[in-house]
Amino acid sequence: MKASELREKYIQYFVNHGHARIKSASLIPDNDPTVLFTTAGMHPLVPYLMGEKHPLGKRLTNVQKCIRTGDIDEVGDNTHCTFFEMLGNWSLGDYFKEESIKMSYEFLVDELKIDKEKIAISVFEGDEDAPRDEVSAKCWKDLGIAADKIFYLPKKHNWWGPAGLTGPCGPDTEIFIITREEDCCDGCSPACNCGKYVEIWNNVFMEYNKTADGKYEPLKQKNVDTGMGLERMLFTLGGYKSVYEVDVFTPVMKLLDKVVNIDKDTTKEKRIIADHIRTATFMLGDEKGITPSNVDQGYILRRLIRRALRFARQIEISPDTLPEISALYIEIYKDAYPEIGENKEKIIDELKKEIDRFDKTLNRGLAEFEKLKQYIQNNRISGKAAFRLYDTFGFPIEITIELAAESGITVDKEGFDACFKEHQQKSQAGSEQRFKGGLADAGEQTAKLHTATHLLLAALKKVLNDNSIYQRGSNITAERLRFDFNFGRPLTEEEIKEVEEQVNSVIKQNLKVTCSEMSVEKAREEGAEGAFGDRYGEVVKVYSIGNFSKEICGGPHATNTKDLGTFKITKEQSSSAGVRRIRAVLE
């Protein structure tokens, strides 16, 4: 079966059962600081799962684009991908276990014609937070699933959520396809990783809200949240050996087969390239499109593109193949996800730019890495050396760790982080943590104020009509910014008001904050603000905010001015002779 067929069949079935079809939400979550990407169809629906009324009613269905990079190291095997589509249906305080299970069964057996003998089920075995789920087990038995195909498993397997640290969650019942007769061991069950049971669908019965202090409170409204991985389902239905045989990958795998011309098994590398470029295409083409950067989502995107390029080089594929692959995906997905077609130029353009950036230094970095290997002690690369690979050659630390592992070497990650901190950049460790579900920290507020500082400098130059104004000092806490600049007299009240208005009008334009790396010379040529001094030959980061501001800077910054709120100057005073000091806040 083709992806388009399964999408339509699924949606049609649930529409016929009273569900309203909703659009896939953006990959960038709207109101959730605890995760970087949308990881499941329920994610954008959290407010409605918590009780807010959905305009389209109590029964919803959709196909949601999702990203999960937690298993990025597994990509290359038969089943793992960093991007996937999730088919889902929801009951917002409408039907519950019985009806949900019945619809799932019917869809699988009557619509997809799956042999019911091939279906196995798991249900929650119960613990101190919630009782054993006998209701679900009975529903399955009543539909004719044999008792020995129903497994009771603990929270680790049969509990879903919350998506971040807090929020709706509950016991689930998972549906598996039995792929063979033999057990792998005594007590073989869907909890084993032996491959006998392939999970295809997860029905979550959201009855609880996990609070920040780790308690499970009953939700006022009982919901159903189900999710079926589209690619996984097609792979299972088709009886394929790997998910890369699914039709959405076929043209890409064909192209890769054609261009690879080396005498070894390149299956893993080709799959990594196919996966990473697909994910990058969706990130770049998203309605809230992101671009490669050194923080948060942009950093994950950068890592994926750079990793794909490294593997392309490793199997002697031209870097030009990567945008070609992206173009194939755009064709494949543009009907189901119109934004991908609409953003075609941007996707290809940004991809090419990032590839160019890294390709220039990749080979030199690899040579440096080879050199390093000869000099290291205790089979360990120092944090400083890893930082140099990052800073000078653009190697994300994960790539260095991966390269090292391929040679049986470790990397002093803590040492790297320390160097990173020293350079006053927000460590990607921060974003990784957030990605894992940590809460947003004060760093985010600081980043916003930092972005506001850039806007302030640009506005001062304009309002005071003085291009020789530059930064004499800056100090930012989570609460406020303090900015010193050269100017010979106090600002008038009107000027202060005008500066505020300029900054706020830029904030309202929802301008993207982008970061690119370039030589100091190039930065100067482009008119970037910043101390050029004696940094001749160095590669620096330049942050741009639309056409309004361009500064050499280490970051971190907000990704878009729209996140800044309202800018307000709280004080303007003298700092020293010829230097003024402004304090400001974001409200």
Q: What are phi and psi of 126, to 5 degrees?
A: 95, 145
By beta-carbon proximity to ligand SER, the closer residue of 171 and 292 is: 171
Q: Which residues contact 542 (CB under 8 A, 6 or more apart)?
A: 515, 516, 517, 518, 523, 526, 528, 530, 550, 551, 552, 553
Nearest approach in angstroms of CB 225 to ligand SER is 5
Nearest approach in angstroms of CB 227 to ligand SER is 2
Distance between CA atoms of residues 468 and 455, nearest Å: 16
On whether the CB atoms of residues 543 and 425 are closer than 8 A, the answer is no
By beta-carbon proximity to ligand SER, the closer residue of 42 and 283 is: 42
3-state secondary structure (DSSP) of residue 515: strand
| Helix 383-393 × helix 413-422 angle, to 10° | 60
By beta-carbon proximity to ligand SER, the closer residue of 168 and 530 is: 168
Distance between CA atoms of residues 467 and 537, nearest Å: 26
Nearest approach in angstroms of CB 204 to ligand SER is 5
By beta-carbon proximity to ligand SER, the closer residue of 31 and 468 is: 31
| Helix 267-285 × helix 321-333 angle, to 10° | 60
Nearest approach in angstroms of CB 160 to ligand SER is 5
On whether the CB atoms of residues 23 and 423 are closer than 8 A, the answer is no
Name the H helices within 143-178: 155-158
Q: Which residues contact 508 (CB under 8 A, 6 or more apart)?
A: 561, 562
Closest residue to ligand SER, based on beta-carbon distance:
227
Q: What is the enclosing helix (H) or strand (E) of 485?
A: strand 481-486
By beta-carbon proximity to ligand SER, the closer residue of 40 and 469 is: 40
On whether the CB atoms of residues 139 and 103 are closer than 8 A, the answer is no
Q: Which of 431, 459, 453, 456 is nearest to 444 (CA)?
A: 431
- String of b and e for 271-283 (b: at least 16 CB within 10 Å)? bbbbbbbbbbbbb
On whether the CB atoms of residues 189 and 141 are closer than 8 A, the answer is no
Whose tokens are 């009008």? That residue is 505
By beta-carbon proximity to ligand SER, the closer residue of 98 and 526 is: 98
By beta-carbon proximity to ligand SER, the closer residue of 88 and 383 is: 88
Tokens of 187: 């007590």
Q: What are phi and psi of 128, to 5 degrees?
A: -70, -20
Nearest approach in angstroms of CB 86 to ligand SER is 6
By beta-carbon proximity to ligand SER, the closer residue of 64 and 321 is: 64
By beta-carbon proximity to ligand SER, the closer residue of 227 and 323 is: 227
3-state secondary structure (DSSP) of residue 486: strand
Tokens of 417: 């982080």
By beta-carbon proximity to ligand SER, the closer residue of 235 and 567 is: 235
Name the H helices within 394-492: 397-406, 413-422, 428-436, 442-463
By beta-carbon proximity to ligand SER, the closer residue of 103 and 458 is: 103
Give CA torsion, residues 568, 570, 574, 579, to 10 deg: -20
Beta bridge partners of 210: 167, 216
By beta-carbon proximity to ligand SER, the closer residue of 66 and 452 is: 66
| Peptide bond before residue 154 is cis, with ω within 30 degrees of 0 | no
Nearest approach in angstroms of CB 38 to ligand SER is 11
Nearest approach in angstroms of CB 9 to ligand SER is 18
Kindly list the residues in this chain that would bind ligand SER in the complex (CB under 6 A): 40-42, 88, 160, 202, 204, 225-227
Q: How many CA atoms lie within 13 A of 3 on its CB side?
A: 21
Nearest approach in angstroms of CB 174 to ligand SER is 8
Nearest approach in angstroms of CB 504 to ligand SER is 39
Nearest approach in angstroms of CB 41 to ligand SER is 6
Nearest approach in angstroms of CB 229 to ligand SER is 8
By beta-carbon proximity to ligand SER, the closer residue of 197 and 358 is: 197
Nearest approach in angstroms of CB 130 to ligand SER is 16
On whether the CB atoms of residues 135 and 141 are closer than 8 A, the answer is no
By beta-carbon proximity to ligand SER, the closer residue of 88 and 430 is: 88
On whether the CB atoms of residues 40 and 163 are closer than 8 A, the answer is yes
Nearest approach in angstroms of CB 173 to ligand SER is 11
Nearest approach in angstroms of CB 44 to ligand SER is 12
